[in-house]
């Protein structure tokens, strides 16, 4: 430590002279502490607003710092300033009550007071060496404060990560009760108007925990930019992200947001569950997102990210009872109820290889009538028969609608 070596050379070589300075300095420490605390109150509004207990802790720290300076100066051959006792005089709770910035302000105020007091109460001959000493000592005290807060932040980060992982685990298991909501609130979750679950592959590196943590922070940053709450954790080989915010009720907007941080997942599909109203309801979004994640292998050309709803055909073929019923309920039955020959025209159109003219000939109607009915199919179902991907979903929905029938939609058939 160059500063300390320089200070050692500038100290009085005579033990008797040094001892005399220490005695004079020790006689002034109580007064210096009183002046320092008074100056803190004058300079800092936030200090005046503290309760009596934390103010007493800060007084202890100030006194310990000034006494520590005397003890350190008295040592004829120190290895460096001993600053561990300065902050050890106050409980750990102090680090949670005042910020690092506020601590730096208090250290600066105390040092300013000591330097002023040296000029006011110490003999002129003592001042140069004491000023040199306080500069070196204050530097080490500042480093000690930074280390304490860094360690506290590290511990909080580890604890928060474990707490966040437990919340995400509860979401995955569909056990989101009041206690889970409380833990989520502790982590900063405030949304109660829209929630989606996103599933993708976890990053693969030699240090997965470190890499996953950095990727989760990158996702958190993007979510914050979009005004969303975010929870995330690695579950096995999957990275699970839970997003919250009213704008998530728009699926297209949600996919756009997820696309901004999709690179934080490992290569492979990223599936977005449907929006639900509240964190308590995330079981439905989780179930569909996980079902889509398992089934997306059946659609290698799927976009990244892809919504679980767009994977209904693959999910149905993969054994997801909810997807089968959704296809029958949302596509087949509305078309059947709409009448007007929509269902019949759709069946013939699919059988005729998506040819309008061939369909018109088979039904003995004008081609424009076929086009009109196909537009109505799109309006009623949300799927366009002229789009190959939508036509695939419609064909599967027709089959499932016939197989399940009305009773199959309400008989509590097998789910995912």
Which of the 8 DSSP states describes residue 270?
A: E
208 and 275 assigned to the same domain: yes
Which region among 20-24, 71-75, 90-94, 298-302 has the lowest average model confidence (pLDDT)?
A: 90-94
* Alpha carbons 307 and 297: distance in angstroms, whole number: 14
- In terms of domains, do 20 and 150 share one? yes
Identify whether residues 12 and 134 lie together within a single domain.
Answer: yes
What CATH number did the domain enclosing 351 receive? 1.10.10.2840
* Ramachandran angles phi, psi of 109, nearest 5°: -65, -45
Asked if residue 172 belongs to a domain, the reply is no
Q: Is 80 exceeded by the pLDDT of residue 26?
A: yes
Domain C-terminal end among 310, 343, 369: 310
Same domain, 119 and 213: no
Same domain, 335 and 234: no
Q: Quick one: what percent of the chain has pLDDT higher than 70?
A: 80
pLDDT(255) > 80: yes
Q: Tell me: do 112 and 196 sit in the same domain.
A: no
Per-residue confidence (pLDDT) for residue 256, from 0 to 100: 93
Band (pLDDT 50/70/90 cuts) for residue 211 is: low
Q: Is pLDDT larger for residue 230 or for residue 295?
A: 295
| Pairwise CA distance, residues 344 & 97, whole Å | 71
pLDDT at 380: 93
**Which of 105-114, 267-276, 286-295 is predicted with the least confidence, judged by mean pLDDT?**
105-114
Note the pLDDT of residue 317: 94
Residues 200 and 259: their CA atoms lie apart, in Å, by 12
Q: Which residue matches tokens 């474990």?
A: 162
Q: Rounded mean pLDDT of 167-195?
A: 74
Identify whether residues 213 and 302 lie together within a single domain. yes
User: In CATH, what number is assigned to the domain containing residue 237?
Assistant: 3.30.70.2730
Among 310, 338, 361, the domain-final residue is: 310
pLDDT higher than 60, residue 330: yes
Quickly tell me which residue has 């003995």 as its tokens.
364
> Is 26 or 18 the better-scoring residue by pLDDT?
26
- Give domain status of residue 223, yes or no: yes
Cα–Cα distances (Å) from 228 to 56, 157, 259, 278, 292, in that order, read 40, 20, 14, 14, 23
Q: What is the mean pLDDT of residues 131-149?
A: 74
- 266 and 377 co-located in one domain: no
**pLDDT category, 3, cuts 50, 70, 90?**
very low
**Does 184 reside within a domain?**
no
| Predicted pLDDT at 320 | 93
pLDDT category of residue 351 using cuts at 50, 70 and 90:
very high
**Nearest one of 272, 221, 199, 278 to 245, comparing CA atoms:** 278
Residue 165 forms part of a structural domain: no
CA gap 63, 50 in Å, rounded: 18
Measured in degrees and rounded to the nearest 5, phi and psi for residue 214 equal: -65, -40
Does residue 212 or residue 399 have the better pLDDT?
399
Identify the CA nearest to 63 among candidates 40, 46, 47: 40
Q: Is 160 domain-assigned?
A: no
For residues 326 and 302, state if they share a domain.
no
Domain for residue 7, yes or no?
Answer: yes
pLDDT of the residue at 152: 54
In a shared domain, residues 333 and 217: no
Per-residue pLDDT band at 135 (split at 50, 70, 90): confident
Domain membership of residue 14 as a residue range: 2-155
Residues 239, 112, single domain; the answer is no
pLDDT band at 388 (very low <50, low <70, confident <90, very high): very high
Which tokens is 142 given? 């500042």
Q: Are residues 82 and 110 in the same domain?
A: yes
For residue 411, pLDDT over 70 is answered with no
* Tokens matching residue 41: 């109150």
Q: Which of 40-44, 84-88, 368-372 has the highest mean pLDDT?
A: 368-372
Residue 28 inside a domain? The answer is yes
Point out the domain boundary residue: 310, 336, 371: 310
Which range, 102-106, 116-120, 314-318, has the best average confidence (pLDDT)? 314-318
Tens of pLDDT along 47-103? Answer: 888 888 888 888 887 888 888 888 878 775 555 445 555 555 555 556 567 776 777
- 207: confidence class by pLDDT, cuts 50, 70, 90: very low
pLDDT value at residue 68: 80
Say if 315 falls within a structural domain: no
Report the pLDDT value the prediction gives residue 391, as an integer from 0 to 100.
Answer: 94
- pLDDT of the residue at 172: 74
User: Count of domains in the chain?
Assistant: 3
> Can you say whether residue 92 is alpha, beta or left, with left for phi > 0 and alpha for psi between -120 and 50 degrees?
alpha
């Amino acid at each position: 430590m160059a500063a300390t070596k320089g200070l050692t050379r500038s100290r009085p070589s005579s033990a008797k002279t040094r001892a005399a300075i220490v005695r004079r300095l020790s006689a002034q420490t109580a007064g210096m502490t009183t002046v320092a605390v008074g100056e803190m109150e004058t300079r800092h509004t936030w200090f005046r607003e503290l309760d009596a207990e934390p103010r007493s802790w800060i007084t202890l720290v100030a006194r310990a710092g000034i006494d520590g300076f005397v003890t350190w100066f008295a040592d004829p051959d120190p290895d460096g300033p001993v600053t561990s006792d300065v902050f050890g005089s106050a409980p750990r709770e102090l680090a949670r009550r005042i910020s690092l910035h506020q601590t730096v302000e208090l250290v600066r105020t105390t040092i300013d007071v000591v330097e002023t007091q040296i000029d006011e109460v110490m003999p002129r001959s003592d001042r140069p060496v004491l000023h040199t000493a306080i500069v070196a000592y204050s530097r080490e005290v500042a480093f000690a404060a930074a280390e304490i807060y860094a360690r506290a932040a590290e511990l909080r980060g580890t604890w928060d990560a474990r707490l966040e992982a437990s919340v995400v685990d509860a979401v995955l298991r569909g056990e989101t009760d009041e206690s889970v909501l409380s833990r989520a609130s502790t982590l900063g979750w405030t949304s109660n108007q829209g929630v989606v679950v996103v599933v993708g592959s976890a990053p693969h590196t030699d240090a997965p925990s470190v890499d996953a943590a950095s990727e989760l922070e990158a996702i958190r940053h993007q979510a914050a930019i979009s005004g969303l709450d975010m929870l995330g954790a690695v579950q096995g080989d999957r990275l699970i992200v839970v997003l919250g915010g009213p704008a998530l009720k728009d699926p297209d907007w949600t996919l756009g947001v997820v696309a901004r941080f999709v690179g934080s997942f490992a290569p492979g599909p990223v599936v977005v569950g449907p929006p639900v109203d509240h964190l308590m309801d995330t079981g439905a979004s989780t179930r569909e997102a996980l079902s889509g994640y398992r089934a997306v292998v059946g659609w290698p050309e799927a976009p990244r990210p892809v919504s679980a709803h767009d994977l209904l055909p693959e999910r149905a073929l993969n054994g997801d009872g909810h997807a089968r019923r959704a296809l029958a309920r949302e596509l087949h039955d509305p078309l059947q109820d709409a009448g007007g020959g929509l269902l019949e025209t759709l069946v013939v159109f699919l059988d005729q290889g998506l040819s309008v003219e061939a369909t018109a000939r088979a039904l003995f109607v004008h081609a424009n009538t076929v086009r009109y009915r196909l537009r109505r199919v799109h309006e009623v179902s949300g799927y366009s028969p002229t789009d190959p991907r939508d036509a695939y979903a419609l064909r599967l929905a027709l089959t499932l609608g016939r197989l399940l029938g009305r009773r199959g939609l309400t008989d509590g058939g097998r789910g995912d």
